[in-house]
Amino acid sequence: MSTKYGGYMGKVIKINLTTRVVNEYLWTDKDREMYIGGKIMAAKILYDNIKPTVEPFSDENMVVITTGPFSGTGVPSSSRFNISTVSPLTGLITSSNCGGNFGMMLKKAGYDALVITGKSKDKVWIEIIEENIKFHNADYLWGLDTAKTQESLPIRHGKLVIGPAGENMVKYAGVFSQERTAGRGGIGAVMGFKNLKAVTSIGTKKPFIHNPEKTKELNKKWIMNLKKNSLTGKRLPKLGTAGLVKIMQEKHILATRNFKYGQYDDYDMVSGEELAEKHLIKNIGCVTCPIQCGRKVEVDGKRVKGPELETIGLFGPNIENNDLELIMKWNLELDELGMDTISTSGTIAFAMELNEKGLWDNGLEFGKVDNLLQIFKDIAYRRGIGDLLAEGSRFLAEKFGGEEFAIHSKGMELSAYEPRGAVGQGLGYAVSNRGGCHLNAGYLVLIEALSISMDPYTTRSKAELTIMFQNIMEATSAAGNCIFTLFTMIPSAVVDKHDSVFANMANKTLTMPFVGAVVNGINRANANRLPINISSLPQTKALHHITGMKMDLGRFKAIGERGFNIERLFNIKRGLTREDDSLPKRLTEELQDLNNPKSKVPLEELKDKFYKSRGWGNDGVPLEKTLRRLKIMSE
């Protein structure tokens, strides 16, 4: 094993699909200290290897599949793995996280990551059995949906596959492992271009753990805390992510009618409560997770995974559809075709408005749902208007107009939070490295509206808090942990009484003038200036016990910051400018509420603060001193 650190297998392999040569990719202990794993490791590999001119659909583009040191160590909610590539949807870096068991099985085979490059001449799938790596002809799998493909592969666990949408290079096709998805940014399309239908991995190896006793003890406490906390122990298991629909309605952030409004009259017909009461068979989730936020429901007599909040919000209120059973059916269909539900629904909502405004006669209408199942198939197989829809909203706006209501950032469709009711989330969407994603955004909406109701319209402290959240989430994800584990940072008392005195107190405190400056000081502190661990962030101690690395809050947040900056630099090399950190005019210039002049995203003001606080120039480019502080550039 070529690492002194626990939690790792110590080996990364590079597979060239063109030459079918497999060799080791050099990844040192120094790299492990700097980038941990997951999406940050993948960003560094792409940054070092992909020239700025490399097209998403090209032999030179890479699909980098990474795990974190937590996977396979008993840490709760740590089966997650990451896939990164140059996105065909945005032309920039994309990373997508998946809770299927492929990542854990990759480690059992003896590898921390796979770097896939080149393009196979024939349809192929790759079988990894420890040192034995084989290429198989995939003609018999080509054309199969994601469920049938997984059934047709000869092992039970450790598979990742694409469906017809990936094969046909739909720009938002995803990658699937069990019933979980790496959905965003079109990674499935890149695999389809490379003629790679599936990868399987199996083995019997295990990472060693630096301090097994302490790890066991911490994991036990951690699981207990997750079970005790109101969000992770009660709400998410009971209502799933869809439990947020009702709160989003109350807070005017439930994207409705292509983000024209923030509320929907029939919201209760598509709420998490309705799903739980009428359709839930049981809660399910990723392996190793005590939260189990997923839903098991019945569709056409089959017990399948139910829809998440994003799918419900965007295929419900956002296209004016109140039929939850239909959404369940569509969710299954899209998973089987192999497409991201967020970008599919966002693109369709935009097409509906284009039709309504007479810009594109396509037969799609808000509230008209009988033709959508057929439309999904047409997108996956690129037939008729499906061929245009398969390119995403930005492409449609360039072709037909309507840019001001094309709801995307950097080409990626936004998730279901309407940001005019939570302006910090608007900033996050705009500056997110992979485009309109709520999580890469920093998920500030969680404290702006979903839990403690920090003033959703103020710009005060929003940039600084966004940065803090982004950095912590990046590092958590890189360690291999589900970012929902971070919800325990919100005390149960606040979650249970989000409209009460607790919320008002928190709101008042967070919006005080000095808070931004304090948070900024923490964000900018050198890695060795915060040598503490806090109980609500057990990730730092866990990393120390598992790997043996020196780890504390300062080092952890610096790793997250480093990851965010490397993705940013990658995008800048590809031509990204300040203008690309954008939102459509509907969200920055149209008021959501005509009686509230603050109900739009003051994006340029927020961006100025964000750039300054990140240590970037006014052009959005990281300053040399920032890169030196982060050791991305040598001192």
Cβ neighbours around 208 below 10 Å, total? 16
Q: According to the binding rule CB under 6 A, does residue 84 interact with ligand SF4? A: no
Q: Residue from 37, 207, 294, 307 that binds ligand SF4 (CB under 6 A)? A: 294
Minimal distance, residue 626 CB to ligand SF4, in Å: 31
Q: According to the binding rule CB under 6 A, does residue 291 interact with ligand SF4? A: yes
Q: Residue from 293, 312, 348, 445 that binds ligand SF4 (CB under 6 A)? A: 293
Residues 6+ apart with CB under 8 A from 341: 183, 307, 308, 310, 311, 314, 315, 330, 331, 334, 335
Q: Residue from 7, 56, 68, 99 that binds ligand SF4 (CB under 6 A)? A: 99
Minimal distance, residue 77 CB to ligand SF4, in Å: 4
Minimal distance, residue 513 CB to ligand SF4, in Å: 36
Q: According to the binding rule CB under 6 A, does residue 484 interact with ligand SF4? A: yes
The window from 48-56, 287-295, 312-320, 616-624 that contacts ligand SF4 (CB under 6 A) reads 287-295
The window from 110-118, 271-279, 281-289, 559-567 that contacts ligand SF4 (CB under 6 A) reads 281-289
Q: Which of 441, 606 has the CB closer to ligand SF4?
A: 441
Cβ neighbours around 492 below 10 Å, total? 16
The window from 119-127, 145-153, 286-294, 611-619 that contacts ligand SF4 (CB under 6 A) reads 286-294
Q: Which of 179, 333 has the CB closer to ligand SF4?
A: 179
Q: Residue from 58, 292, 492, 533 that binds ligand SF4 (CB under 6 A)? A: 292
Minimal distance, residue 591 CB to ligand SF4, in Å: 35
Q: Which of 58, 292 has the CB closer to ligand SF4?
A: 292
The window from 148-156, 199-207, 283-291, 382-390 that contacts ligand SF4 (CB under 6 A) reads 283-291
The one-letter amino acid code at 546 reads I
Instruction: Give bridge partners of residue 296 from the DSSP assignment.
Output: 282, 305
**In terms of DSSP bridges, do strands 63-66 and 113-117 run parallel, antiparallel, or are they unpaired?**
antiparallel
Q: Which of 296, 368 has the CB closer to ligand SF4?
A: 296
Query: To which residue do tokens 């700097």 refer?
Result: 34
Residue whose CB is nearest to ligand SF4 in the complex, by number: 285
Q: According to the binding rule CB under 6 A, does residue 233 interact with ligand SF4? A: no
Q: Yes or no: say if 404 and 396 are a contact pair by the CB < 8 Å rule.
A: no
Minimal distance, residue 478 CB to ligand SF4, in Å: 15
Q: Yes or no: say if 451 and 495 are a contact pair by the CB < 8 Å rule.
A: yes
Q: Yes or no: say if 73 and 79 are a contact pair by the CB < 8 Å rule.
A: no
Q: Which residues of 119-146 are buried (b: 16+ CB within 10 A; e: fewer)?
A: bbeebbbbbbeeeebebbebeebbebbb
Tokens at 535, concatenated: 């109980």
Minimal distance, residue 39 CB to ligand SF4, in Å: 15
Q: Yes or no: say if 446 and 248 are a contact pair by the CB < 8 Å rule.
A: no
Q: According to the binding rule CB under 6 A, does residue 289 interact with ligand SF4? A: yes
Single out the residue of 614, 174, 241, 223 nearest to residue 443, CA to CA. 241
Q: How far apart are CA 6 and CA 210, in angstroms?
A: 5
Residues 6+ apart with CB under 8 A from 97: 38, 39, 80, 81, 82, 182, 477
For the packed helices 423-431 and 462-479, what is the interaxial angle rounded to 10 degrees? 50
The window from 29-37, 81-89, 285-293, 340-348 that contacts ligand SF4 (CB under 6 A) reads 285-293
The window from 136-144, 282-290, 425-433, 565-573 that contacts ligand SF4 (CB under 6 A) reads 282-290
Q: How far apart are CA 535 and CA 578, in angstroms?
A: 38
Minimal distance, residue 512 CB to ligand SF4, in Å: 32
Instruction: Identify each DSSP E strand in 236-301 by its residue range.
Output: 282-284, 294-299
Which uninterrupted H or E stretch holds 612?
Answer: helix 603-614
Minimal distance, residue 227 CB to ligand SF4, in Å: 12
Q: Please, which of residues 537-596 interact with ligand SF4 by CB under 6 A?
A: none
Q: According to the binding rule CB under 6 A, does residue 482 interact with ligand SF4? A: yes
Binding residues vs ligand SF4 (CB under 6 A) = 77, 99, 285-286, 289, 291-294, 482, 484
